[in-house]
Amino acid sequence: DAMVIQNPRYQVTQFGKPVTLSCSQTLNHNVMYWYQQKSSQAPKLLFHYYDKDFNNEADTPDNFQSRRPNTSFCFLDIRSPGLGDAAMYLCATSRGGQGASNQPQHFGDGTRLSIL
């Protein structure tokens, strides 16, 4: 089945140790998103790629970076994780272009990040 796949499902890292989360998709969607979701809250958009164009949200800390080497893959890099970065990280995709506002986003199951 076409889907959005996030690896790993659970990631533990040490305070200050860089960590990378990955996302792949078989939907051939041109837009990919990264969200941070903390307990009992709505997902918070960190950034998104429209094709190769990177769009950062104004309040996303510099500690968070992203790479999209091709249409199918997108990575979230946290350069120096702090305790406050412990959260669920969700990847999503959608089809961009004309009429795109009608298109839903398709989410992966997320990676739960813990910081020791």
Partner 1 sequence: GNSVTQMEGPVTLSEEAFLTINCTYTATGYPSLFWYVQYPGEGLQLLLKATKADDKGSNKGFEATYRKETTSFHLEKGSVQVSDSAVYFCALSDLQKLVFGTGTRLLVSP
Whether the CB-CB separation of 69 and 20 falls below 8 Å is answered with no
Site for partner 1 in 37-96 (CB under 8 A): 40-43, 45, 48, 50, 90, 92, 94, 96
* Calpha distance 114→39 (Å, rounded): 13
Q: Looking at 74, 105, 113, 115, which residue binds partner 1 (CB under 8 A)? A: 105
Stretch that binds partner 1, among 34-42, 58-66, 67-75, 78-86 (CB under 8 A): 34-42
Nearer to partner 1, 14 or 53 (CB): 53
Would residue 22 be called left, alpha or beta, if left means φ above 0 and alpha means ψ between -120 and 50 degrees? beta
Nearer to partner 1, 78 or 111 (CB): 111
| Angle, CA 13 vertex, CA 78 and CA 31 arms, to 5° | 35
Nearer to partner 1, 61 or 97 (CB): 97
Which residues contact partner 1 by CB under 8 A? 4, 6, 31, 40-43, 45, 48, 50, 90, 92, 94, 96, 100-102, 104-110, 112
